[in-house]
Amino acid sequence: MPLKILILDDEPIVGQRLKATLEKEGHNVETFVNPLEAVSRLEGKTFDIVVTDIRMDDMDGIEILELVLQKSARTKVIMITGYATLEVARESLAKGAFDFIAKPFKLKEMRQAIEKAVDALQQENPGNPAGN
């Protein structure tokens, strides 16, 4: 079933590649490079899955995570980290992130993470993953 996915990374190529792949799988994907634009979009719409980079110019991925969960606790947030350091990963998991992926990653890894998120969403709320 189609999911609403938001992808935020200040590297445009990341959004482009993920969008192409995920749309082919039938998901509904919106991509952003500017965190502030993404934030205003997140305020207007509830997504099933949010993928965000941790390190960005104007905002940090952890802030996005907190904001998303505050608005909709069931949204699954996947963090992309430049540093595959345990510390950042632990912090994001502790703050409620669903998973994290370290750069550089392959499309398959991202797809697997998203599949896991879909499974989790279905278990929580069978039949209506989008919650509406």
Partner 1 sequence: MSTITLQLKLRLFIYLGIAIFLLNIPVIYFEITKLNQRLVNLELAEDLYNTILEVRRYEKNFLLYHDRESLLSNRFYFQQASELFSKASMQFQKSFLGSDIAQLGKALQEYEKFEKLYSNPSALTTNERIETKLRNAGKDVVAAADTLLKMQRRRVSRAAGNALKWPLIFMGAMLVLFLIGAKIIIADVVRPFGLIEKAMQKVAHGDFSPIPYGNKNERRAGHMVAAFNRMVQELESREEQVIHSRKIASLGTLVSGCAHELNNPINNIVLTADVLNSKREMTTERQEQLMGDILNQALRASEIVKNLLEFSRAETSVHKEFDLAALLRETMRIAENHIKLSHVTVHDKIDDNLPRISGNHQGLQQVFLNLITNAVHAMEGGGNLTIRAQRENGNKVKVQVEDTGTGIDESILPHIFDPFFTTKDVGKGTGLGLSVSYGIIKKHGGQIQVQSKPGRGTIFTVTLPVHTKIDQDLTPPCGERMA
Q: Is 83 in the site for partner 1 (CB under 8 A)?
A: yes
Task: Please say which residue, 2 or 83, places its beta carbon nearer to partner 1.
Answer: 83
Interface with partner 1, residue 14, by CB under 8 A: yes
Quote the least distance from Cβ 79 to partner 1, whole Å.
14
Q: Which residues contact 122 (CB under 8 A, 6 or more apart)?
A: 129
Q: Are 49 and 75 in contact (CB under 8 A)?
A: yes
How many residues belong to the site for partner 1 (CB under 8 A)? 18
Q: Which residues pair with 78 in a beta bridge?
A: 51, 99
Q: Distance between CA atoms of 83 and 22, rounded to whole angstroms?
A: 24
Question: Considering the rule CB under 8 A, would residue 107 count as an interface residue with partner 1?
Answer: yes
- C-alpha separations of 65 from 69, 91, 95, 130 in Å: 6, 11, 8, 18
Query: Does residue 105 bind partner 1 (CB under 8 A)?
Result: yes
44 touches partner 1 by CB under 8 A: no
Q: Which residues bind partner 1 (CB under 8 A)?
A: 11, 13-14, 17-18, 20-21, 24, 55, 57, 82-83, 103-108
